[in-house]
Amino acid sequence: MATATSPERVLHAEPEEQTQLADLIGLIEHLETQGTPKARLLGPDGETIDLPASAYEALKAVAGAMAQGLTITLVPHGQELTTQQAADLLHISRPSLVKLLEDGRIDFHKVGTHRRLKIEDVLRYRAERAEERRKALQELTELSEDIGYR
């Protein structure tokens, strides 16, 4: 069974669940070939409820990633992170994160003596950093093509 921890939800499928996840992905793909998917949940007492489109899209994204053996972290927007949680999300050390905060690269506020960051601000910084890296890689590629390096 997939495990979850709080406050964010870290989900990882167990190896024995891979067949069920593959079946679920197959069902989702089949639903999508039928046009607009109308997915329903079936309760243990036989009661069904239509799955809202947003929940269906979330299920599809999570199941698809888990079927590939990936671990998923679900964090509600609006949640505040500690500096350690934010550093872990960015895959950097906590001291490196603190330097980014002090340099004004990521917004934060203090709760007592502790810094807190909004998840949206951390994700925005991560996206900006990825874009900077993409541009730098593109520039290097163009330079190497200009000098004829292969």
Tell me the per-residue pLDDT of 53-79, one tens digit each, with 9 for 90 and over: 888 888 889 988 888 888 887 778 888
Please indicate, yes or no, if residue 98 is contained in any of the structural domains. Answer: yes
What's the structural domain count of the chain? 2
Beta bridge partners of 118: 80
Tokens of 146: 């200009």
Q: How confident is the model at residue 2 (pLDDT cuts 50, 70, 90)?
A: very low
Same domain, 107 and 132: yes
Do 69 and 95 fall into the same domain?
A: no
Burial state string for 101-136 with b = 16 or more CB within 10 A and e = fewer than 16: eeeeebebeeeeeebbbbbebbeebeeeeeeeeeee
Last residue of a domain, one of 59, 74, 89: 74
**pTM confidence score:** 0.58
Instruction: Say if residue 69 is in the same domain as residue 96.
Output: no
Q: How far is CA 130 from the centre of its chain?
A: 14
Strands 9-11 and 109-111, how do they pair?
Answer: unpaired
Q: Please report the pLDDT score of residue 101 as a whole number.
A: 97
* Tokens 């500690």 found at: 82
> Domain range spanning residue 56?
9-74
Same domain, 46 and 94: no
Q: What's the rounded Cα separation, in Å, for the pair 95 and 99? A: 6
